[in-house]
Amino acid sequence: MATPQRNGFLDWIERTGNRLPDPAMHFLAALLLAWVASAVLAGVAFLEVDPRTGQPLVIHNQLTGEALATFLTKMVTTYTGFPPLGVVLVLVLGVGIAEHSGLFAAGLQRLLDFTPRSLLSPALATAAILSHVVADAAIVALVPLGGALYYAAGRHPLTGITVAFAGTTGAFAMNLLPTGLDPLLQGFTQSAAQILSPERLVNPLCNLWFMAALSPPIILATWWVADRIVEPRLRGVAVDGDPAGLPKVEPVSPRQQRALWVALATVLLLGGLVLAATLPQGSPLRGPDGALTGSRSPMMQSIVPLMLLFLLAPGLTYGYAAGVFQSHKDVIKGMTKAMASMGYYMVLVFFAALFIYSFSVSNLGALLALKGGAMLQALQLPPTITILGIIVLTAFINLVVGSASAKWAMLAPIFVPMLMTTGISPELTQLAFRLGDGPSNVITPLLPYFPLVIAFSLRYVKGVGIGTIISLMLPYTAVYYVVSLVVLFAYWGLGLPLGIEAGYVYP
């Protein structure tokens, strides 16, 4: 395949993005800016009324000796108590077991083993969306597997790579089951909502019903794009990689198949135990009002530990049954390997937590929200247009800031309270961010996994570059946005619930 021609716009995005500081430095700069802004605005009398106190809003100077002393004394707890940090680190332990044991790879392989050649695309897209429970590990495992499966089936391997990449990354926000992304984003959303309403809680599964409803249309859209647009475009592209270096589709061995059945039985047993524990009206997992799904119920507050159990239990049983785990040392090794990959995230979160703390206690977040909300109210835009604007803005920001958690850490303290003042719920604002963030993941060269996708593609086709992958992924991005918006506005028009304890309006 010839080297793709240079594209001025894409080249500009790549050059500009590469010149940007690391996202951790974005938060450090934002922290310093918040301090300076608080000192400048502390003496200004604002007419806006603080909805938390009913009094005129006052900006608190964060550069006074007292404020800096408080900042230092609270620094450790501000970091360790940052809601998304604990969520991610706990779930990574389970993901590490599921991945290191081989459960994830074997389960996906078995799912695709009995799929007819003509149905590879919807099957792979379904597997990709289900794989969101193991987060970024799905990209590393499923993208090369997609290429190998299509190659073995006599179809173009780049089609398989694009389907897996689109499903794991472009449709990252969609899910048929709860994933770690749900409580991760909820932590940022709840903290942002409490800038204006300190008692406001956000359910971790506040977007679950919509995302589950969106998944089937996205799977069908992936199928259509892959088979009707991408693969026909690749008909003249020769597979000229090194055959000896191409990845092989390894069949699942009889022992692995037995181990998969043991893992499935473990999941069913665990699910039965949880169900039995929740059925009695006096269950300790129910809230004071007897509800299971309320934000204050132990069931919802335990969603992350429960997800950890549903990763650990089948991962352990599969690992021992398949002979991957010989002793507890192998288990700990899998956890350690997964946790080691989180070093960068832990550094990023340190700066994000400090920025959000200062942004909140200074009242700058409340001021920006009230000012922005007043502007939106003056424009009298329909809520649908406001939400559409959030989706479009997020999509463009995603081209230069690849991390979903980094973006939402920056945007949530601004978007969530601002839209609350216009009557839009935090849950709907979070959903708009998710819909804007996902589809453009696959067309930004700044995505950390983008070079990895190019490397997988080069195994099959020489000359693949950034332009090649972006040109193949653009149809997925465009169709994903169209389908997501159509489903959102239809869903909204019918007044269907976004998720558990999630409406469209605030209060």
**Predicted pLDDT of residue 253:** 87
**Predicted pLDDT of residue 84:** 64
Between residues 3 and 72, the one the model is more confident about = 72
Which domain range does residue 286 map to? Answer: 8-494
**Predicted pLDDT of residue 355:** 85
Going by pLDDT thresholds of 50, 70 and 90, the confidence category of residue 90 is confident
Contact assessment for residue 295 and residue 346, using Cβ atoms and an 8 Å cutoff: no
What are the start-end ranges of the E strands in 99-237? Answer: none
**Predicted pLDDT of residue 7:** 45
Structure tokens at 422: 């216009």
Going by pLDDT thresholds of 50, 70 and 90, the confidence category of residue 14 is very low
Q: Which of 211-215, 284-288, 329-333 has the highest mean pLDDT?
A: 211-215
**Predicted pLDDT of residue 52:** 67
Structure tokens at 247: 């990845």
Q: How far apart are CA 105 and CA 252, in angstroms?
A: 10
> Does the structure show a pLDDT above 70 at 390?
yes
Least reliable range by pLDDT among 61-70, 393-402, 472-481, 489-498? 393-402
Residue 459 in any domain: the answer is yes
**Predicted pLDDT of residue 294:** 66
**Predicted pLDDT of residue 268:** 94
What is the pLDDT averaged over residues 472-490?
A: 95
Contact assessment for residue 146 and residue 124, using Cβ atoms and an 8 Å cutoff: yes
Residue 1 in any domain: the answer is no
Percent of the chain at pLDDT above 70?
Answer: 87
Going by pLDDT thresholds of 50, 70 and 90, the confidence category of residue 245 is low
**Predicted pLDDT of residue 249:** 58
What is the pLDDT averaged over residues 126-150?
A: 77
**Predicted pLDDT of residue 63:** 95
**Predicted pLDDT of residue 425:** 96
* Overall pTM surpassing 0.75 (yes/no): no
Q: H or E element: which one contains 186?
A: helix 181-193
How many folded domains does the chain comprise? 1
Contact assessment for residue 99 and residue 139, using Cβ atoms and an 8 Å cutoff: no
> Does the structure show a pLDDT above 70 at 83?
no
What is the pLDDT averaged over residues 228-237?
A: 89
Instruction: Give me the torsion for CA of 46, 356, 505, 301, rounded to 10°.
Output: -140
Going by pLDDT thresholds of 50, 70 and 90, the confidence category of residue 134 is low
Q: How far apart are CA 302 and CA 308, in angstroms?
A: 10
**Predicted pLDDT of residue 394:** 86
Residue 335 in any domain: the answer is yes
Residue 499 in any domain: the answer is no
Least reliable range by pLDDT among 63-77, 249-263, 475-489? 249-263
Going by pLDDT thresholds of 50, 70 and 90, the confidence category of residue 126 is very high
Q: Which pairs from 27-32 meet CB under 8 Å and 24+ separation?
A: 27/348, 27/351, 27/352, 27/354, 27/355, 27/406, 27/409, 27/410, 28/351, 28/355, 30/355, 30/359, 30/410, 31/351, 31/354, 31/355, 31/358
Between residues 346 and 486, the one the model is more confident about = 486
Residue type, position 141, single letter: A
**Predicted pLDDT of residue 51:** 66
Question: Tokens 């589709």 sit at which residue?
Answer: 249
> Does the structure show a pLDDT above 60 at 502?
yes
**Predicted pLDDT of residue 495:** 93
> Does the structure show a pLDDT above 70 at 19?
no
**Predicted pLDDT of residue 484:** 96
Contact assessment for residue 5 and residue 467, using Cβ atoms and an 8 Å cutoff: yes
Residue 178 in any domain: the answer is yes
**Predicted pLDDT of residue 5:** 41
Q: CB-based burial of residue 473 (10 Å sphere; 0-12 exposed, 13-18 middle, 19+ buried)?
A: buried
Q: How far apart are CA 148 and CA 39, in angstroms?
A: 58
Question: Tokens 């081989």 sit at which residue?
Answer: 102
> Does the structure show a pLDDT above 90 at 428?
yes
What is the pLDDT averaged over residues 83-99?
A: 76
What is the pLDDT averaged over residues 233-260?
A: 76
Q: Which of 74-83, 139-148, 163-172, 444-453 has the highest mean pLDDT?
A: 163-172
> Does the structure show a pLDDT above 50 at 434?
yes
What is the per-residue burial (b if ≥16 Cβ within 10 Å, else e) of 283-309?
A: bebbbeeeeeebbebebbeebbeebbb
For 499, the 3-state DSSP assignment is strand
> pLDDT digit string (tens) for 264-318?
999 999 999 999 998 888 889 888 877 776 666 788 778 778 878 988 999 999 9
Contact assessment for residue 54 and residue 61, using Cβ atoms and an 8 Å cutoff: no
Whole-number average pLDDT of the chain: 83
Residue 104 in any domain: the answer is yes
Q: How far apart are CA 435 and CA 489, in angstroms?
A: 12
Q: How far apart are CA 214 and CA 377, in angstroms?
A: 30
For 23-73, the DSSP string reads HHHHHHHHHHHHHHHHHHHTTPPP--B-TTTSSB--PPPTTSHHHHHHHHH
Residue 40 in any domain: the answer is yes
Q: Going by C-beta distance under 8 Å and a sequence separation of 6 or more, which residues neighbour residue 34?
A: 62, 355, 358, 359, 362, 364
Q: How far apart are CA 338 and CA 340, in angstroms?
A: 5
Q: How far apart are CA 355 and CA 411, in angstroms?
A: 12
> Does the structure show a pLDDT above 50 at 4?
no
Residue 52 in any domain: the answer is yes
